[in-house]
A = this chain, B = another copy of it.
Amino acid sequence: MGKHTITFLPHNKKIEVPSDEVLLRAAMEAGVHINASCGGEGVCGKCRVIIEEGEVADGVTEKLKKTDREKGCRLACRSRVTGDATVRIPVESDVDPSVLTTNIPPRQTARIQQMDFEQLKKKGLFIPPVEKQYIELPEPTVQDNLADTTRLVSYLKLNHDEHRLVVRLPVIRKLPDALREEGFGITATIARPVHEGRKSHIINVEPGDTTDHNYAIAVDIGTTTIYGQLLDLVSGEVLAEHGEFNGQISYGEDVISRIVYAEKGSGLQKLHEVVIKTINDVVSKVVRKASVDCDEISSITLAGNTTMTQLLLKVNPRYLRRSPYVPASTIYPPINAAALGIDLGDHVTALVYPAISSYVGGDIVAGVMGSNMYRTEALTLYLDIGTNAEVVIGNKDWLACAACSAGPAFEGGGIQFGMRAAKGAIQDFSLDPISLEPMLVTIGGVRPKGIAGSGLITIAAVMFEMGVVDSQGKFNRDLETDRIRESEGIGEYVLVWEENAGIDRDIVITEVDFDNLIRAKGSIYSGCQTLLEEVGLTVGDVEHIILAGGFGSYIDLEKAMAIGLLPETDPDKVTYIGNGSLMGCKMSSLSNHIRRDVVDVTRKMTSFELSETGSYMDHYVAALFLPHTDIGLFPRLKSRMDARKAGAEPD
């Protein structure tokens, strides 16, 4: 079998592959990103490419319309190489990292809740888990020739009240020369135990006084994006922040596709390597931005969902997707960061946030820590809508959590023109009540390329309130507009005609999209209801809603309530904390007290499997309407609709 050269445009990357190689794999090999939500199983239809020169075999499924096929469109995951070819990755199949680096300001319809660092300081909780101490030791003599480690440990014990110190081998290796470089003046980096009474570790020594250079890294490992912060452990400040797309995206967009990939051959190793590579990219960026010496970084704290955590630690996630959904572990011991492949000094320990279950991971625990909900009196609903949706309900006395099988609709999955909150994504929408012509706002103010999650909510809410779709998400075909039409029997509304679009097709929202949206929002709402019911409460008892995740910042609260995604409450009771996972990592990097609390919180959080909870199915079915079977749960919406109806009726 011969070799063929495939050229990927617009990157103009070339790669030689054997006959029959799958195009998606060739792209991976070439380092070219193509969205592939389903991990290459041909079901999501996201990985469309255009064959500009040459030919490929197969690659045609019912996901591609006839007109697209004729234009040379193929699904990369189903196309096999048969000869040299030039393949264009269309803009909507390409990952656009600009969204992470350009500052798209959040809409901030919800109040922003920030960690109150000053309060942390006032309460005396600002004691980082890793501290530096400078000491000047007496020089040894023939009469006093204790071993170097004994000299150090004894001095710290006598003069700094440091007991139960363990000196690690790399420190023993460095110590003799380090001590003698600055006349026995030395800075020791001491890592505190999580549990009081356990041993502290001397993890590093440096000649002279370096106590004012002590940094930490906090990392949120999202399925889609990895965000990192560089923290100053002396001042408590964030010195730099950076985000990158998780390199694993090329191997499947959602966790299930990644698990499937990890199960094949060396898939686990590969996914582990690429996530470590992304983390290293993030670390090197924040280090450069803040102009600090990488060797002065003393700790790294990471949080991610259970699958991301297992892939990070190279623990096969095989059983996470199989009933009864058992994680390998929920708690991970501290791990040497360098041994894991992270480009930090040999003395740096990686602390990984513990998970609760297969579907409620360390990112959620970190969010609970970062949001402070575990220390408040108020009954709080914490909602993280990302690639999946997780719910935590509780306060300082108890915590209950569950994962909702919402699917990735709010991140663009299952929505024909759905896309991430990147440039060109429709984010805001309104509708002229007479002409039914839309007004669109895109991120970055460019020609529309697709629909962001926040845009989807707004579109659905507006269309529902205006009667363009009914409570089941079906278009009113009697309305007089050429924007509502049918395609293969399914109703759709043309948001953008091809000539105005940033892509080469009409951008539409379809009844299938509405179906998926309704199922997504229904699963979240009914998840909250079920969880509350399990602890004897109702939606009305919730005193505070915290929205976490990138998505939360763009959401129009009234619209989200109008479609029944959020319980209808006073918008003032809703706050937005941004990346809760990253905030939790930051908190426990800065405060060993909070790190200790993590253990308690993990023990306290009761996980519910919604599918195993009797009332869930009823709640879910009832929630499969806009906004809900019981519109009484949404009194403000009801009165608006009643008013509109009254206005529309002939007097």
| B331/A149 in contact, CB under 8 A | yes
Chain A 139-184 residues near chain B, CB threshold 8 A: 140-150, 166-169, 172-173, 175-177, 180
Q: Which listed segment binds B: A311-319, A369-377, A429-437, A541-549?
A: A311-319
Instruction: Give 1 or 0 for each of A577-593: 1 = CB within 8 Å of chain B CB.
Output: 00000000000000000
Interface of A with B (CB < 8 Å)?
A: 140-150, 166-169, 172-173, 175-177, 180, 313-316, 318-319, 323-333, 335, 339, 355, 357-358, 609, 612
| Given A142-B612, A609-B142, also A172-B329 (CB < 8 A) | yes
Q: Which residue of B lies closest to A607 (CB)?
A: B145
A166 to B194, CA, bound (A): 13
CB contacts (< 8 Å) of A330 on chain B: these are 147, 149-150
A145 to B143, CA, bound (A): 62
| A150/B324 in contact, CB under 8 A | no
| B328/A172 in contact, CB under 8 A | yes
| B175/A328 in contact, CB under 8 A | yes
Q: Which residue of B lies closest to A612 (CB)?
A: B142
Report how many copies the assembly holds.
2
Most chain B CB inside 10 Å of its own CB: which residue of A176, A316, A323, A358: A176
CB of A137 to closest CB in B, whole Å: 11
CB contacts (< 8 Å) of A169 on chain B: these are 313, 315, 332-333, 335
| B328/A145 in contact, CB under 8 A | no
| A176/B316 in contact, CB under 8 A | yes
| B328/A149 in contact, CB under 8 A | yes
| B176/A145 in contact, CB under 8 A | no
CB contacts (< 8 Å) of A327 on chain B: these are 147-148
| B148/A329 in contact, CB under 8 A | yes
CB contacts (< 8 Å) of A358 on chain B: these are 145
A313 to B141, CA, bound (A): 25
| B609/A332 in contact, CB under 8 A | no
A339 to B355, CA, bound (A): 29
| Given A147-B330, A149-B330, A166-B333, also A173-B140 (CB < 8 A) | no
| B318/A176 in contact, CB under 8 A | yes
Query: What would be 7 A-B contacts, judged by CB atoms less than 8 Å apart?
Result: A147-B327, A147-B330, A148-B326, A166-B333, A176-B319, A177-B316, A180-B319
| A140/B328 in contact, CB under 8 A | no
CB of A638 to closest CB in B, whole Å: 38
| B149/A324 in contact, CB under 8 A | no
| B313/A172 in contact, CB under 8 A | yes
| A328/B142 in contact, CB under 8 A | no
| A145/B332 in contact, CB under 8 A | no
CB contacts (< 8 Å) of A335 on chain B: these are 169
CB contacts (< 8 Å) of A180 on chain B: these are 319
A-B pairs, 8 with minimum CB distance: A149-B329, A145-B324, A142-B324, A147-B327, A147-B330, A172-B329, A176-B328, A140-B324
| Given A177-B316, A609-B142, also A147-B329 (CB < 8 A) | yes
Report which of B173, B318, B323 forms a contact with A142, defined as CB distance below 8 A: B323
CB contacts (< 8 Å) of A609 on chain B: these are 142, 145
Q: Which residue of B lies closest to A358 (CB)?
A: B145
CB contacts (< 8 Å) of A166 on chain B: these are 333
A175 to B326, CA, bound (A): 12
CB contacts (< 8 Å) of A149 on chain B: these are 328-331
Report which of B168, B314, B326, B355 forms a contact with A176, defined as CB distance below 8 A: B326
CB of A339 to closest CB in B, whole Å: 8
Known: A148-B328, A172-B315. 8 other contacts (CB 8 A): A145-B324, A146-B326, A172-B328, A176-B316, A176-B318, A176-B326, A176-B328, A339-B339
